[in-house]
Amino acid sequence: MKTLLIVNEYAGKGKTKKRWPKLQRCLQKYGLQYEVHFTSKPKEAVEIARHAAEHYSHVIAVGGDGTVNEVVNGIAGRNTIFGVLPTGTGNDLARMLEIPQNLDSAVKKLGNRTEKQIDLMELNGMYIAGAVGIGFDGAIAEDINRTSWKKRAGTIGYVLSMLKLLVTFQPFTLHLEVDGRTAIFHNCWLVAIGNSKFYGGGMKICPDALHDDGWLDICVVHNMSRMELLKLFPSVFSGKHILHRNVLCLRGKVVQVLTDPVVPMHGDGEMVGPTPGKIMIHPRALNVMH
């Protein structure tokens, strides 16, 4: 079994590079044989992973959710086994797969070579393992991606961008189609569509989402004031925001989103572009180590 580690040294506020020697010792300790490729620029991991899928049985992303997203897009639908060693700030996919944040424990777990298949979402041609955010959440991701220090700050950066955009973001009209059934929501703040319950560094935007059930979980936040939204925000860490009367939860296989005006969309924190968007589920599209 040939294994390639795709390492983003700049993940985790640049700490991955400093942690690499320790990670090497852990890999040696548990007898994992591997080759390594260090990324040097954004989106490079997609092509590295795509090429690696032809030559390696296992490809492991070493970094945060951005690195994970790139590697997943390189090997989705292939027989290659995917793994993650979390060294980023969010690490939501690792959290979903119950990979420990502690490097020694994470390497030990991957060393067991236990495998399973998980679902992937597709949004306008891009594969997403965790969650899609549209509207207010998409604007937050866009603001974070424009400001490098916020991206490195993890959940703190998310909260700061949220407070900034809470003042300026304008709610929109949402035309939502789920498996052929259409609904219109006025004064909509955001739509989140989850394959995983976790996003944004541990927030549970779709708390009932499962990564291997073949369903998309949908969360629509609408018809609330800015102050109500601010008061609601802390409850997203426990998933209790779904108890609010103006938070609607749905499930489906294919979701189409049209908004007026257009709003930003992200997948696992990576910008996908403005609406409209078509999201579908691909059951068991990724083989993973867990």
- Which CATH number goes with the domain that contains 242? 2.60.200.40
Which of 53, 83, 113 is a domain's end point? 113
Residue 27 lies in a domain: yes
Which pair of tokens denotes residue 236? 């997203």
Q: What is the pLDDT of residue 148?
A: 64
Measured CA to CA, the distance from residue 6 to residue 71 in angstroms comes to: 8
Domain count of the fold of the chain? 2
Which of 113, 134, 159 is a domain's end point? 113
pLDDT tens readout for residues 251-286: 999 999 999 999 999 999 889 999 999 999 999 999
Same domain, 20 and 109: yes
Residue 161 lies in a domain: yes
Considering only residues 14 and 32, tell me which one the structure prediction assigns the higher pLDDT: 32
Taking a C-beta distance cutoff of 8 angstroms, is the pair 127, 73 a contact?
yes
Q: Can you tell me the mean pLDDT for 228-251?
A: 96
Same domain, 159 and 201: yes
Same domain, 85 and 151: no
Residue 90 lies in a domain: yes
User: Token match 């059951």: residue?
Assistant: 283
Residue 194: pLDDT over 70? yes
Domain span including residue 9: 3-113
Tally the C-alpha atoms within 13 A of residue 145's C-alpha that lie toward its C-beta: 20
C-alpha distance across the termini of the chain, in Å: 17
- Which CATH number goes with the domain that contains 65? 3.40.50.10330
pLDDT tens readout for residues 143-170: 887 876 556 656 677 788 888 999 999 9
pLDDT band at 90 (very low <50, low <70, confident <90, very high): confident
Residue 173 lies in a domain: yes
Q: What is the pLDDT of residue 290?
A: 86
Same domain, 179 and 280: yes
Measured CA to CA, the distance from residue 156 to residue 274 in angstroms comes to: 25
pLDDT tens readout for residues 34-49: 999 999 888 899 999 9
Q: How far is CA 235 from the centre of its chain?
A: 20
pLDDT tens readout for residues 48-63: 999 999 999 999 999 9
